[in-house]
Amino acid sequence: MLLIPLLTLAMAFIVINSPRIRTTSPKCGLRIGLDVGNWNFRFLSFGGAVPYRPAQDLAFAVARFFQRGGTLQNYYMYHGGTNFGRTTGGPFISTSYDYDAPLDEYGLVNQPKWGHLKDLHKVIKQVEGALVATDPAISSLGSNLEAAVYRTGSECVAFLANVGTNSAATVTFNGNSYNLPAWSVSILPDCKNVVYNTAKINSMAMIPSFTRQSLIADVDESLSLGSAWSWIKEPVGITKDDAFTKPGLLEQINTTADQSDYLWYSLSVDVKGDEPYLDESKTDLHVESLGHALHAFINGKLAGSGKGNSGNSKVSLEIPVTFGSGKNTIDLLSLTVGLQKISYALHQNYGAFFDTRGAGITGPVKLRSAKSGTSVDLSSLQWTYQVGLKGEELNLPSKDSSLWSQSTLPKKQPLTWYKTSFDAPSGSSPVAIDFTGMGKGEAWVNGQSIGRYWPTYFAPNSGCKENCDYRGPYSSSKCYKNCGKPSQQLYHVPRSWLKPSGNILVLFEEIGGDPMQISFATREVESLCSHISESHPPPVDLWNSDSKSKSHSSAPVLSLECPSPNQVISSVKFASFGTPHGSCGRFNHGKCSSTKALSVVEKACVGSKSCKIGVSINTFGDPCVGVTKSLAVEASCT
């Protein structure tokens, strides 16, 4: 059975309601509504960079779908989410399931993607009557150029597409000339006026930011912040009454029944008795595991760790170990990081024979004398097993325990539980916890698991591009950001889980960290931006049923709006009309720029919740005659 992760998310279906089933041709028979899974892109993996998909490409895919006769659009995902608890849908999928969705993990709009798609579906809805009444007449306008016309009665709707990836093209359609950017679709609700083009974003962009504050408030700096924390050491190895012994190495998923991420494998060996030929001071431990990670302890001390990755979850660990005379204990803690995920060519984790893929230490487990090279296979011996942790059995995340210690706070120590109390951050902005300083583990707020954290698993240094070209077919490796940084550093805490004060945070740290470095972060908007050219279509809102028979000749408009009801635009960081370039947060003036752009924008916007500015030489003058000009603005709200 395919397990679907329990997320804060939504799969959106944008539907055109067809009043009847239509025929396409005698050969094809009936045409019914098509269902397409349209990926905003994909999940984030621990150890991977953050994937994203440009709004222009996503809009292109949607517009092409309706252009060619589609009737239902399925987004995966339209609302990003969070893999709270242990609900992540596959090995190494991160706690964040933001998915670069139009509505992000925190429930806020992801601009400009949200606005660009909103405009697209508004246009599609306006021409619904023609789209559901007939099939498109598709014709070629040239190489990689195509027109699709829906005509019924007095209605005529056209889609003009340039599926070339390199350059714009000028086409003639119904006696008029149209410029089509590469990899774009223009929509003409009246077969005459362009109301929307997928490559030209009218929606504003936002730069999200996270404002950090200390986890512990109002603490005298002369006091150790460690006094606000309590801790419990998780014992190494077998400590629970339900432990059991079996010969050989057991597969983890079937053994734990997914009741815990953790499975202990424990074995006692007599260096001078059972294996007298092993040199106790020069011995290597070799462990092979199906994944996803493991920690090896020799006589209660951490000797080494290993982890897999999203492409290959298997772990091969080779570490030098030191034994003493007589009995020695080998304790291997194997752990999973989610059990299933969506199937890709290189990442198949469900379907036929999924149950045979397994997890955990299936061997071999060997000891090898570094001096003589002689080895012994321990795989078939009598191993003792324990499902889960002692702290899980005691329900430390939710119940009080007399075991919590307030003595000197241990830092950088493996297998440690931490607990503290805190007040909720002020305001109403979404909340996250920054786990900088911690290694790997799980966190609970007021008994609710906010998921696994793993800020020490960094993305590769290569593979990211400052500007990802949206043109051309999309692939799983096309657009990444955050290279060389933790795959996930911030972890969502729903406001509904928090009280004004007296909240309890519990952590289980596997590999060692410093909880004193943890901080809160509230999600804010650092900047609003928009970049609109004279060649952009006017706002979609200007086109309605009353104006369909009129010329759609209004000028493009740049719009800004603060995201919160009680905010106003407080400053304009950048404004340029002419040939500005760059992206939100990195705009620069071009070779020509109007001298009054900043003052015009400040007058129109500062002090208001929202503002609209016509993008034309009538507003700003003409700083460079004969050149298509644009207006770029960055502003902030308070």
In this structure, what CATH number is given to the domain that contains residue 621?
2.60.120.740
Q: Do the Cβ atoms of 219 and 155 come closer than 8 Å?
A: no
Q: Could you tell me the two tokens for 71? A: 């009737």
Last residue of a domain, one of 523, 545, 572: 523
Domain contains 290: yes
Residue listed under structure tokens 């799969």: 11
Q: Are residues 412 and 380 in the same domain?
A: no
Element (DSSP H or E) covering residue 230: strand 229-233
**Domains of the chain: total:** 3
Helices (H), 191-344: 252-256
Same domain as 473, residue 443: yes
Residue 445 shares a structural domain with residue 575: no
The reported pLDDT for the residue numbered 275 is 57
Same domain, 472 and 448: yes
Q: Is residue 439 part of a domain?
A: yes
Answer whether residue 88 is part of any domain. no
- Looking at the structure, tell me whether residues 581 and 508 fall in a common domain: no
126 lies in some domain = no
Statement to judge: residues 571 and 617 lie in one domain: yes
Q: Do both 270 and 332 map to the same domain?
A: yes
Residues 465, 329 share a domain: no
Largest CA distance in the chain: 96
DSSP 556: P
- Tell me: do 334 and 400 sit in the same domain: no
Say whether both 254 and 366 belong to one domain.
yes
Task: Indicate if 378 and 473 belong to the same structural domain.
Answer: no
For residue 190, report the phi and psi dihedrals to the nearest 5 degrees: -115, 15
Low-confidence ranges of the chain (pLDDT < 70): 1-37, 216-227, 272-281, 340-356, 544-553
Domain that holds residue 359: 244-344+355-388
What are the tens digits of pLDDT across the range 325-383?
Answer: 889 999 999 999 998 644 443 444 455 566 667 999 999 999 988 777 789 999 999 99
In a domain, 590, yes or no: yes
Look up the CATH number of the domain holding residue 441.
Answer: 2.60.120.260
Question: Three-state DSSP class for 336?
Answer: coil
Convert the pLDDT of each residue in 540-561 to its tens digit: 998 865 555 444 558 899 999 9
Report residue 190 as tokens: 């009246």
- Establish if 378 belongs to a structural domain: yes
Residue 43 lies inside a defined structural domain of this protein: no
Q: Are residues 447 and 384 in the same domain?
A: no
In-domain check, residue 80? no
- Closest among 234, 357, 274, 311 to 45, alpha carbons compared: 311
